[in-house]
Structure 1
């Protein structure tokens, strides 16, 4: 019955709350069921972000000490102290990241399981005549799908929120540094990041339409073949009428159809990987070119060159990751709409 509604918006009971409203709603649920997960997520955001450019900053201070022209004994003493400080900070950051990574995933599952219980409780309290209505069954089925997966729906939104916020935090920290270096570099990186993102979304769309959507008939045929060849009720007829070769031939046809679609899938993502590598080379070239110009025209020191290189690479990587995660985040938000509806 639920199939009468091909899109969520076609169901009269469906409500659209928007990304901001759903974000606040999910944060409240995290606070309601597992308050500690908020702290763990924040800890992971800071640690993962800082670690992406930490050694670039460390390298700057190492070069500064080397260029001071200190005596050998004093230089070793200064470098040893710096390495101890940097090592301690790095150890703390890695410990914080490990603590967050190993605790967050489990706690997010617990939050989702509590929301799944909410969904079941809601269904059990509906008046009996409502549970036979197609629109109610449809919205209940969508709510079920929103709570039955680790990577989509309510838990998917929690996981993507963490990834997107980590990238956003990195962008904020590195943006100011690159702006000081050359504002044109930021503009160029943003344009390249947007172009990569648009191409990524195109590949995702084509992959869905040309591969996975068109593979559904083959998947159903494969499931049917598996069912009848393993069902005892059909075993006698298959052997009595000698259908083994016939069914094997049908399975080979299904396999051929599946392989053809997977070849398209492989080629699509091969092209994407090729474009990403080209973009990566261009981005790196722009960063190095900007830094070389700064060395000759702005007297940028070698130590600052090392630091700005690390910050610029972290910025470009975080920008692309943020754009990709934000697209997935919008999709997860739509599934949270289903749950809340």
Structure 2
């Protein structure tokens, strides 16, 4: 999103949205905001009137007792108000964090549940980054807005009350105050707009610094950093980004210093004119000492109220723009049907079909998959093979509904999958993808993908099929051992092969009717790989299975093989028929066989 583009939601809409979120999150943030503002106004009024009231009692030649009671009354009131203000200030953080936490949950849900195809789009990725930044810490818009709203209510309340107090003096004073405050606001607004228009530059430095720090602190990269001596290189990268950010910050500082100088000059002129009129009224119109002190303090505070309202409106506008981009992320359209999709009928068996399917990634100049038609029969064991980059994984993502075709359609038992609830469709698949990640939970929780109602007997069967039983038995707490060391210091780090077999066990535990294995042996040693091939029949029993690999020798046990190249199906048949055909599959198989026999990887 370009910063010069008009935000989708205006400031009032964003404030209303935040109020709705706060109301659902417990309402405390709203109540604290209103009560804190009322206390602040009352406190300022007590401070404003204490000196004039004491002087008035002196002018009235009141008794010492009356004078002391006046001072005592105001002192107690100020003390109580100060204590209440301190209480609400100290305790306002938690309600605000509750609201931000509720929004973080919305952002996390959107990130996890959005259509997979959205994650590939550049504008979605940018909005996602901005949404994370808007909820990143206590100083971001989703939390700062409550302080701004509190200050705005305070300033508006004070402005109204003080305006009634100053209504008895020359309106020229009020006019001067308001005009000079507006002039200062215009300069301040210009500075804020300049910074907002250059926000992408600031965000670029933020993202670069965060990325470098994540990599430098990554447990997975710890070995590479030490073996290849990357410490200085990473430090130099971080220093360069930091220096570039400092240069940007210096430009921001110059603009802000200019705004502060202009505001100081305007303040001097404003106060000078106001005080001149008050002194003139005292000398010419018989203004009493107590009235002079009251109006003198009121003029100064009224100026603060006016400037406060203008600055708070500016800050609210800035917060609104950040929240607008956050909401644009949450409202980003979903190309897939979820709750609004049809329920998948209770089929006894499943047939998948690609009908004239083409797919082009966002921003690409040509199709990755072009005009592919394929039918996968119920219970069939299909192998999809080809060299790296041939389009195998994209084909699989289309079949399992992670992507929708650019042209053509994917059918489930003759029905276009775009009609179905996509999450229900996902439940049909037990998958192991090339790229995978694990969460720092126990082994059992990782396999079952839940903390509750774990079927341990089923887990044991799955890890046995995945060839992981002996590895798990050696762990200090068996299935209750934590994986990873970012959260739990006593966690274990699995090797690449162990992690891949763990992902296989997870897929088997899900027990979907369609088993999808995308390069499942890439990280396995030859013995473990052969063991998996031997158990593949048991793993896929009663299921439709898709086996994707660039190693042609790994697919001989499948019912049918399709050879993918240049985004299309070039050859199709059994291993024997394809070898007899003598085409690209046979040639590549011979080359790979020769390399494997020589102990090399192709």
TM-score (normalised: structure 1): 0.78
Shift of 1:159: 2.5
Q: Distance in 1 between matches of 2:234 and 2:103?
A: 44
Give 1:285's match in structure 2, choosing from 249, 259, 272.
Answer: 272
Residue 88 of structure 2: aligned partner: 100
Residue 156 of structure 2: aligned partner: 168
Asked if the contact 2:212/2:238 (under 8 Å) is kept, the reply is no
Q: 5 Å matches for 1:131-142?
A: 131-142=119-130
Residue 329 of structure 1: aligned partner: 316
Shift of 1:278: 2.3
Give 1:113's match in structure 2, choosing from 96, 101, 117.
Answer: 101
Name the SS of the counterpart of 1:52 in structure 2.
helix
Shift of 1:254: 7.6
Name the SS of the counterpart of 1:325 in structure 2.
helix
Q: Distance in 2 between matches of 1:259 and 1:227?
A: 22
Shift of 1:131: 4.5
Shift of 1:138: 4.4
Shift of 1:231: 7.2
Name the SS of the counterpart of 2:287 in structure 1.
coil
Shift of 1:45: 0.4
Shift of 1:122: 3.8
Residue 260 of structure 2: aligned partner: 273
Q: Which has the higher strand share?
A: 2
Write out per-residue CA displacement over residues 202-224 of structure 1, whole angstroms, 9 at most, x where no aligned residue.
33455677899489679959986
Structure 1: 5+ residue stretches without partners: none
Asked if the contact 1:37/1:104 (under 8 Å) is kept, the reply is yes
Shift of 1:257: 6.2
Residues 1:9 and 1:218: Cα distance change in structure 2 (over 3 Å): closer
Give 1:310's match in structure 2, choosing from 297, 300, 310.
Answer: 297
Residues 1:248 and 1:268: Cα distance change in structure 2 (over 3 Å): same
Residue 55 of structure 2: aligned partner: 63
Shift of 1:81: 0.6
Give 1:48's match in structure 2, choosing from 40, 43, 49.
Answer: 40
TM-score (normalised: structure 2): 0.47
The alignment covers a number of residue pairs equal to 325
Q: Distance in 1 between matches of 2:20 and 2:196?
A: 33
Residue 179 of structure 1: aligned partner: 167
Write out per-residue CA displacement over residues 16-43 of structure 1, whole angstroms, 9 at most, x where no aligned residue.
2322222222222222212233222112
Residues 1:208 and 1:37: Cα distance change in structure 2 (over 3 Å): closer
Q: Distance in 1 between matches of 2:20 and 2:206?
A: 42
Shift of 1:98: 0.9
Residue 16 of structure 1: aligned partner: 8
Write out per-residue CA displacement over residues 242-274 of structure 1, whole angstroms, 9 at most, x where no aligned residue.
x98x99999998887666655555544444433
Residues 1:33 and 1:330: Cα distance change in structure 2 (over 3 Å): same
Residue 141 of structure 2: aligned partner: 153
Q: Distance in 1 between matches of 2:297 and 2:100?
A: 37
Aligned CA RMSD, in angstroms, stands at 3.8
Shift of 1:334: 2.1
Residue 77 of structure 1: aligned partner: 65
Residues 1:138 and 1:235: Cα distance change in structure 2 (over 3 Å): closer
Give 1:28's match in structure 2, choosing from 20, 29, 33.
Answer: 20
Write out per-residue CA displacement over residues 283-324 of structure 1, whole angstroms, 9 at most, x where no aligned residue.
221221121122234322110111111211111012112212
Asked if the contact 1:174/1:311 (under 8 Å) is kept, the reply is yes
Give 1:202's match in structure 2, choosing from 182, 190, 193.
Answer: 190
Residue 177 of structure 2: aligned partner: 189
Residues 1:234 and 1:331: Cα distance change in structure 2 (over 3 Å): same
Asked if the contact 1:8/1:338 (under 8 Å) is kept, the reply is no
Relative to structure 2, which stretch is displaced further, 55-64 or 26-35? 26-35
Shift of 1:196: 1.0
Residues 1:274 and 1:129: Cα distance change in structure 2 (over 3 Å): closer
Q: Distance in 1 between matches of 2:19 and 2:213?
A: 45
Asked if the contact 2:202/2:245 (under 8 Å) is kept, the reply is no
Residues 1:32 and 1:257: Cα distance change in structure 2 (over 3 Å): closer
Q: Distance in 2 between matches of 1:40 and 1:143?
A: 25
Residues 1:234 and 1:121: Cα distance change in structure 2 (over 3 Å): closer
Q: Distance in 1 between matches of 2:239 and 2:323?
A: 40
Q: Distance in 2 between matches of 1:254 and 1:125?
A: 33
Residues 1:30 and 1:103: Cα distance change in structure 2 (over 3 Å): same
Q: Distance in 1 between matches of 2:235 and 2:25?
A: 51
Q: Distance in 2 between matches of 1:66 and 1:172?
A: 29
